[in-house]
């Protein structure tokens, strides 16, 4: 069964950087798109970024465009979220998710099948 494990979260000062990892097991990453989502206390979960399996196409939420970069290493079955210029409003639990879909405009509204347990990111001075 497909499983996802996130890591790399932590406490960082505003303007700093973090790299989150999502390790996939139980299947090959070749057939799955991976999405990153986040949920802050008292707020709904929101989509952050997505990377397709077929052509590596990516989608980003407007709030992170130009600051976050998603990448995948199929050989390591791992997807990364590189987060730069972090802001306090980026504080949230970050989750990765997997499904056999294509990353396009409405991908974050899709009912993704598989989810990780989340990793906390706190941006504070």
Question: What pLDDT shows up at residue 32?
Answer: 94
Question: What pLDDT shows up at residue 30?
Answer: 87
Q: What angle do CA 44, 10, 89 make, to 5 degrees?
A: 40
The beta-strand segments (E) located in 1-125 are: 3-7, 10-12, 18-25, 33-39, 46-51, 58-60, 68-73, 78-83, 92-99, 114-115, 119-123
- Each residue of 24-81: pLDDT tens digit? 999 888 899 999 999 999 999 999 999 999 889 999 999 999 999 999 998 999 999 9
Question: What pLDDT shows up at residue 8?
Answer: 98
CA distances from 3 to 25, 48, 62, 86, 96 (A): 5, 20, 28, 28, 10
Question: What pLDDT shows up at residue 28?
Answer: 86
- Each residue of 70-119: pLDDT tens digit? 999 989 999 999 999 999 999 999 999 999 999 988 899 899 999 999 99
């Amino acid at each position: 069964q497909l499983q996802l494990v996130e890591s790399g979260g932590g406490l960082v000062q505003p303007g700093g950087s973090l790299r989150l990892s999502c390790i996939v097991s139980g299947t090959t990453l070749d057939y799955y798109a991976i999405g990153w989502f986040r949920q802050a206390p008292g707020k709904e979960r929101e989509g952050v970024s997505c990377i397709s399996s077929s052509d590596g196409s990516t989608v980003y939420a407007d709030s992170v465009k130009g600051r976050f970069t998603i990448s995948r290493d199929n050989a390591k079955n791992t997807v990364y979220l590189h987060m730069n210029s972090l802001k306090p409003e980026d504080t949230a639990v970050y989750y990765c998710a997997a499904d056999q879909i294509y990353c396009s405009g409405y991908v974050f509204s899709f009912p993704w099948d598989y989810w990780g347990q989340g990793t906390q990111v706190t941006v504070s001075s």
